[in-house]
Amino acid sequence: MFMKRRNLLATVAIAALSGIAGLPATAQERVVNVYNWSDYIDDSILSDFTKETGIKVVYDVFDANETLEAKLLTGGTGYDVVVPTNTFLQRQIAAGVYQKLDKSKLPNLKNMWDMISERMEPFDPGNEYSINYMWGTVGIGYNKAKVKEALGTDEIDSWKVIFDPANAEKLKDCGINMLDSPTDIIPVTLAYLGENPDSHDPADVAKAEEALVKVRPFVRKFHSSEFINGLANGDICIAIGWSGDIFQSRDRAVEAGNGVDVGYVIPKEGTQMWFDQMAIPADAPHVEEAHEFLNYMMRPEVIAKASTYIHYANGNKASQAVLDPEIVSDPTIYPDEATLKKLFTNTTLDAKTQRLFTRTWTKIVTGQ
């Protein structure tokens, strides 16, 4: 559906002219079809790629891993490059929906960060199928003035600020939002409780459920994107969200000049580290162009431009030399070694545990 359709008669006419007059046939347009998260790239990167290579970028967006996964498992998406999160990538590799990368066509792999590649090993052994685009953390975004007014302190360094019912009740009126994502919220709740955040044990999941049910009456909304504007506009005062989204809230508040000062914290108990990976579907129609696009994205100056635009860390070590100093030196974006040791990853859920998480989450969100 991404290829231009030409009128059959025109095609026949061109072919006839080519055959009779010796005219060359029209060259097929080169294209790469990309499916990525919304608000996740500087558009000038795409236009610059086209100017340099002549390859047109058809760029579509999604806002949930489940949406991407449904398309991939159905097959025939027409996409050449997609960007799943690590835990989804792992089970999609097992399902055979990706092709191995031809690393001979990716010389810029030399720019990638060993630390990120090593942490991706459990999900993509040998990094055979994917390349890191961005990575980040799940943490707490908050309106500094409103939270201080509600709690009487500006020392926000623990999940306790939300998961302790006494605190949550005080924050109720100014507004609490949480990600609508059990695979993010249940693990960080377990971290707060001192349990294994990667536990699939029903008894541990029940402990997380119990803790979340206690604060459920004080949560205004479970949503995975509305908190961005909610924080920026001062409509809510605190949210559990993805790091880069909260940085977007902070920047939007500054641009609006509304006096809202948004902070972000990685709680001392630790939090989830996630990776968004670029991969090529097994049935991608433009494999050569896909590799050219991936190699282009691994240029230090290109991926640095993307990070500057969205305020996420990337997995390209060489890009740090050209990144905006305010970004690369921000410990909430690029955590120091001590904080990195507190970051955990979560393994893919098997079908049984996925159903458990889904049932548990439904109870929490509906309050029933």
- Average pLDDT of every residue of the chain: 92
pLDDT range class, residue 64, cuts 50, 70, 90: confident
Q: Report the predicted TM-score, pTM, of the whole model to 2 decimal places.
A: 0.83
Q: Cα separations (Å) of 110 from 107, 113, 212, 318?
A: 7, 9, 44, 9
Query: Shortest CA distance to 37 belongs to which of 57, 60, 58, 56?
Result: 60
Name, in order, each residue with C-beta under 8 angstroms of 97's C-beta and a sequence gap of 6 or more: 72, 73, 75, 281, 282
pLDDT range class, residue 27, cuts 50, 70, 90: low
CA geometry: angle 290, 313, 159, nearest 5 deg = 130
Map 229-280 to HEC letters: HHHHHCCCCEEEEEHHHHHHHHHHHHHHCCCCCEEEECCCCCEEEEEEEEEC
Query: Shortest CA distance to 162 belongs to which of 229, 236, 225, 215?
Result: 215
Structural tokens at position 269: 């108990």
- In the predicted structure, residue 25 carries a pLDDT above the cut 50: no
Query: Shortest CA distance to 227 belongs to which of 252, 192, 197?
Result: 252
pLDDT tens for residues 183-201?
A: 999 999 999 999 999 999 9
Structural tokens at position 137: 């953390």
pLDDT tens for residues 220-244?
A: 999 988 999 999 999 999 999 999 8
Residues facing 217 on adjacent strands:
none
- In the predicted structure, residue 11 carries a pLDDT above the cut 70: no
